[in-house]
Amino acid sequence: MRAAAAAIALRSRRLRGHPGALAAAFAALLALACLLAIAAGAVAVPIAEIPRAIADATHPQHAVVAQIRLPRVLAGAAVGAALAVAGTLLQAAVRNPLADPGLLGVTAAAGAAGLVAIVLFPEWPALVPIVAFAGGLGAALLVLGFAYATTRPVGPLRLVLAGVALQSLFFAAIAVVTFLFADRAPAFAGFVVGSLSGTSWSDAAIVATATALGLALALGGARWLDLLLLDDASASSVGLSVRRARIAAASIGALLAAGAVSVAGLLSFVGLVVPNAVRIAAGPTHRALLPLAALAGATLLVLADSLARVAAAPLELPVGALLALLGAPYFLWLLARKVA
Amino acid sequence: MTALLAAQRVHLRPAGSERDVVRDVSLAVAQGEIVALVGPNGSGKSTLLAALGRSLRPRAGAVELAGRDVWQVAPRAFAREVARLPQDPVCAEGVRVDQLVESGRHPHRRAFSAPSPADRAAVRDAIAALELGDLRARSVETLSGGERRRAWIALALAQETPVLLLDEPTAALDVRHQWDVLARIARINQDRDVAVVVSLHDLEQAAALAHRVAVLHRGRLYAAGAPERVVDEAMLRDVFGVEARVAKEDGRIRVQVLRPADPIRAL
């Protein structure tokens, strides 16, 4: 295990500076993960059969593959990519590698807003992602506004602390809503822990669109994100409007996180773990980091969701719980490695 | 000589401060001139440099770039004219030296386009001027203190600005690397005719490097002028609170500090 980790670390160090090769390797891994995810489940589909099962409407497994697994895999990949990219953006916005969409209160706010929409307008399910998005963006702006609405020097730490405070506020709101509307608790459970169970094509379309848009915006702004790797005085000395760049990065991060939350609920750790792991292999500059984090996040979530489906079959674990179980120890290992 | 960048009777209060740290100070720098800013800790050197670098708005007075209020100039346009190296610059872990230097090209680059030949040439020249060729692929945090300082100066140099503001570029370096950095600043000034405002703690270094020395004392300009006129025993007593002997040897100003001027605080 140790030797394998060392070999991977060595290889990734050699691959550093070759983002093209890394991207190809990551894309191949994602493709493999998607095939596995489509193949595995209560009804096993041989990998060789998958193309036919998708294309041929008379194939016995066509319904399972085309209507259930394919949208779920697509949504899983989009959610994973969105969370990883959102984490990367928010880490740049607060210049702290420990930031993630959850820590800034963005996912909690999107989740609370989504829950309120479920309760108030049960007949309008399409409203949930829109309201969740507005909630996430609102939280991001609130955190940024609070951190800047003072004459004292603005440190990224203020942003994080403001986010932590807001996060507990919105978790309280979630708890209150869940308690008051306990009759709808089953609908909430998956949302609060994070799950891709019962994902439809329209869910997949929403999150894939938000993810593609957010990723395109983030990649377009890669050069500005790189300047946020410098301290404020140095970044503004080369002509960056630091405040505007921070707000833009956090807003795009909120777009991505809100899109992911609206479909998959409150998934933790993807946004924190993936960018930090990819940074080791690809370095901190965003033109390489963003696409690689997107691919790695997508792969992680597709694999984790497959595992959640088959690990305790016929029961299905919520993927959010599984991710936290895997993510927390891995992150502690990353920290220990850094200290050493 | 016409002033390129000038503070005119500025009153400055840094964010979070309760009082004006700099009061009624005027200071100008002309093309090709080196002005050294000296003064005790807390005398307002960094604050004045921040205002000259358009990152602190004066409460009264103005900072002008070629006669125009710097706050009328867009940030990127200003960054093509003035580069400022702050006192303790930091960048994220894993940023390579060439990537750091390349960020100095930001004000020259158009949005959504690759670096131009001019951008690449400027980065190459800056890396060559500070002898960072062998270190260009190294992460900044793995460099020694002196190398790191050179990398940051290279960033400012890659901006190719007519004015360079340097806030204590020799702080926390050993004596040899202090003189190394000063020699490179003098070289940049000569080769590129760049105006430099640099804050320094060492008066001998300030006198050796600068055409003019400006002394800040409790937020006011105590004196400004040619080094041999400004760096003298009276100034050291009034501003720094020490009894000292100032002599000229081989054309260089030597400062020998004898004891604190205030006998109660003597060792």
Interior/surface letters B223-232, b for 16+ CB within 10 angstroms, e for the rest: bbeebeebbe
* CA angle (B223 as vertex; B63, B58 as ends), nearest 5: 20
Structural contact between residues A290 and A284, judged by C-beta atoms closer than 8 angstroms:
no
Q: What is the pLDDT of residue A70?
A: 92
Q: What is the pLDDT of residue A338?
A: 63
pLDDT reading at A211 higher than 90: yes
Rounded mean pLDDT, B33-59: 95
Residues in chain B: 267
Q: What is the pLDDT of residue A328?
A: 83
Nearest residue to A70 (alpha-carbon basis) of A95, A87, A45: A45
- Region of poorest pLDDT, from A184-198, A207-221, B146-160: A184-198
pLDDT reading at A186 higher than 70: no
Structural contact between residues B55 and B46, judged by C-beta atoms closer than 8 angstroms:
no
A166-175, A253-262, A307-316, B80-89: which is most confident: B80-89
Q: Give the Cα separation of B186 and A207 in Å (integer).
A: 57
Q: Give the Cα separation of A165 and B216 in Å (integer).
A: 43
Q: Which amino acid is at A224?
A: W
Q: What is the pLDDT of residues A243-264, one digit of tens each?
A: 889 888 988 988 898 888 888 8
- Domain ranges in chain A are 2-339
Residues of chain B with C-beta less than 8 angstroms from the C-beta of A277: none
Radius of gyration of chain A (CA): 20
Question: Is the CB of A153 less than 8 angstroms away from the CB of B15?
Answer: yes
What is the bridge-based pairing of β-strands B34-38 and B195-199?
parallel
Question: Is the CB of B152 less than 8 angstroms away from the CB of A223?
Answer: no
Rounded mean pLDDT, A267-296: 91
| pLDDT-based confidence at residue A1 (cuts at 50, 70, 90) | very low
Question: Is the CB of B96 less than 8 angstroms away from the CB of A283?
Answer: yes
What's the mean pLDDT when you consider all of chain A?
Answer: 83
pLDDT reading at B132 higher than 50: yes
Question: Which is more confidently placed, A196 or A73?
Answer: A73
pLDDT reading at A12 higher than 90: no
Give pairs for A161-165: CB < 8 Å, separation 24+: A163/A94, A163/A99, A163/A103, A163/A104, A163/A105, A163/A106, A164/A103, A164/A105, A165/A105
- Ramachandran category for residue A283: left, alpha or beta (phi over 0 → left; psi -120 to 50 → alpha): left
pLDDT reading at A13 higher than 60: no
DSSP A197-208: TT--HHHHHHHH
Question: Is the CB of B53 less than 8 angstroms away from the CB of A285?
Answer: no
Question: Which is more confidently placed, A68 or A143?
Answer: A68
- Region of poorest pLDDT, from A177-181, B57-61, B227-231: A177-181
Q: Quick one: which H or E segment has residue A19?
A: helix A19-39
pLDDT reading at A127 higher than 90: no
Q: How far is A334 from chain B (nearest CA, A)?
A: 15
Neighbour tally for A324: CB within 10 Å: 16
Nearest residue to A166 (alpha-carbon basis) of A193, A148, A141: A141
Structure-block tokens of residue B198: 């640099």
Q: Which of A234, A236, A242 has the most B C-beta neighbours within 10 Å, making it the best mutation to test the interface with B? A: A234
Among A151, A230, A236, the residue with its CB nearest the CB of B91 is: A230
Q: What is the pLDDT of residue B118?
A: 93
Classified as helix, coil or strand, B24 is strand
Q: What is the pLDDT of residues A232-242, one digit of tens each?
A: 899 999 999 88
Structural domains in chain B, sorted by start: 1-81+161-227 (3.40.50.300), 92-160 (no CATH)
Strand positions, DSSP E, chain A: none
Q: What is the pLDDT of residues A44-103, one digit of tens each?
A: 888 888 888 888 888 888 888 888 889 999 999 999 999 999 999 989 988 888 788 877
The CATH number assigned to the domain with range A2-339 reads 1.10.3470.10
| pLDDT-based confidence at residue A199 (cuts at 50, 70, 90) | confident
Q: Quick one: which H or E segment has residue A290?
A: helix A286-310
pLDDT reading at B27 higher than 70: yes
| pLDDT-based confidence at residue A4 (cuts at 50, 70, 90) | low
Q: What is the pLDDT of residues B141-187, one digit of tens each?
A: 999 988 999 999 999 999 999 999 999 999 888 888 899 899 999 99
* CA angle (A49 as vertex; A47, A52 as ends), nearest 5: 135
What's the mean pLDDT when you consider all of chain B?
Answer: 92
Rounded mean pLDDT, B99-105: 95
